Each structure stands twice: as structure tokens, then as C-alpha cells.
């Protein structure tokens, strides 16, 4: 059973945080493309945004904001597709091609 802090389940949120940390440190630098949202807006990447959302809101209450972040990344990929930028954004395991 997970412990709670401020009404949030801590153990599942920590597991997600650790998984995102591992992705950011080990996988992302080697994958060969960047998050479309980060490229288009010069802002945090989806993994960084999702990590922050889960830390602030927890898994359940963060579900909608995470979905909105991934939708924003999809829209950014659509914008980049119209330019001369090429690459692929991986949003939640779904590769979204765009020109970088």
C-alpha cells in the first residue's frame, strides 16, 4: 500500500518520477530527436513538463494536465511539419514525425 502525502499517493508518483529521470538521463540524449513542444516553444520538453505535473498533482489529478501537454506537443509537431524542421517527437510512446 502506498503512503500518502497531502492526499497524493507517493509511491506510484515516485516510480513515475524515477522512470522519467531514467528516460531523461539515459534514453533521451541518445534517441536522435527532440520533443516538438520544446523545439517549437523553446520551453520545457514533454518529459520535463510531465515530471513536474506528476510531482505537483500526483498521478490521478495529473492525468488531464499530462494529456493536455501531450496534445500541445502534437500541435507543435503539426506546426513544425509546416516548416523546414525535421525530426520525430515521441509523446507517450507515440512517435510524431515532424521536419527538423
Give the global pTM: 0.71
Q: pLDDT, tens digit, for every residue of 47-100?
A: 999 999 999 999 999 999 999 999 999 999 888 888 765 555 655 555 666 554
Whole-number Å distance between alpha carbons of 71 and 78: 11
Least trusted range by pLDDT, from 2-6, 20-24, 26-30, 87-91: 2-6
Domain ranges (residues) in the chain: 7-99
User: Would you say residue 2 has pLDDT above 70?
Assistant: no
The number of C-alpha atoms within 13 Å of 33 and in the hemisphere containing its C-beta is 18
Angstrom distances, CA of residue 65 to CA of 11, 50, 88, 90: 20, 8, 22, 17
- pLDDT for 1 equals 42
- pLDDT for 90 equals 59
User: Would you say residue 6 has pLDDT above 70?
Assistant: no
Beta-bridge partner residues of 91? 94
Whole-number Å distance between alpha carbons of 38 and 27: 17
Amino acid at each position: 500500500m502506498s503512503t500518502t502525502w497531502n492526499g497524493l499517493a507517493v509511491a506510484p508518483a515516485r516510480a513515475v518520477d524515477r522512470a522519467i529521470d531514467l528516460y531523461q538521463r539515459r534514453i533521451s540524449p541518445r534517441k536522435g530527436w527532440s520533443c516538438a513542444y520544446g523545439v517549437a516553444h523553446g520551453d520545457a520538453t514533454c518529459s520535463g513538463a510531465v515530471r513536474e505535473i506528476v510531482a505537483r498533482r500526483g498521478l490521478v489529478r495529473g492525468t488531464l494536465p499530462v494529456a493536455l501537454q501531450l496534445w500541445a506537443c502534437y500541435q507543435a509537431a503539426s506546426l513544425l511539419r509546416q516548416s523546414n524542421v525535421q525530426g520525430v517527437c515521441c509523446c507517450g510512446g507515440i512517435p510524431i514525425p515532424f521536419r527538423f
